[in-house]
Amino acid sequence: MTDHKPMFPIPLSEIEITIETNVFMEPEGNFKLSIQGTGEVELKPRSYTLIEPISLTIQPEQVKDLIAATLEIGFFQMEDNYSEESELTVTPEGTIDQGFGTILDGEATTYTVKMGQHTKSLYAHYGFPKRLRWFYDLVLDVVGVSEILEEWIQD
């Protein structure tokens, strides 16, 4: 966040959490998960598939827990883009150097959190903080879609 407007209070209707995955070698694992502050959840496949979108509902208290988790992991202070591989090497001169390279395969996830006037999107492909993966797992657990996603991939 770059502005200094107060974040709270925020009406539930002005909260949204979205996670979009892009698995480059397994397109059947691509999905978009949208969670509204009022508890409406929609899970949509993002590949060519006959699977229909799924609508669910969670409690506003669960939405509050997910927003609390974004604050706990420092989501709004994270970089916007994690897409470079970083490698440390020891040089012949006896120093440690860091090199970077762009990664073109694997899985990428875009996270977007909207809280009132504050919106943050983050692209996580490689080298992102481990706490972001913890948040991803938490969201899937709270919403209860882990098993559904596993079935999509197996079908």
Question: In CATH, what number is assigned to the domain containing residue 17?
Answer: 3.30.1560
Is residue 27 a part of any domain in this protein?
A: yes
Q: Let me know: does 14 contact 5? Beta carbons within 8 Å.
A: no
What is the three-class DSSP state of 128?
Answer: coil
Which pLDDT score is estimated for 7? Answer: 75
Confirm whether 24 is domain-assigned: yes
How many Å separate Cα 122 from the centre of its chain? 7
pLDDT tens by residue, 50-95: 678 899 999 999 999 999 999 999 999 999 988 766 666 787 888 8
Q: Pick the more confident residue, 106 or 5.
A: 106
User: How many domains would you assign to the chain?
Assistant: 1
Residue at 7 is within a domain? no
- 52: containing domain: 12-154
- As a whole number of angstroms, the distance between CA 121 and CA 51 comes to 27
Query: Quick check: pTM over 0.75?
Result: yes
Residue 111's identity, in one-letter code, is Y
The answer to whether residue 4 sits within a structural domain is no
Q: Are 7 and 118 in contact (CB under 8 A)?
A: yes
Residue 104 has pLDDT above 60, yes or no: no
Is 5 a domain residue?
Answer: no
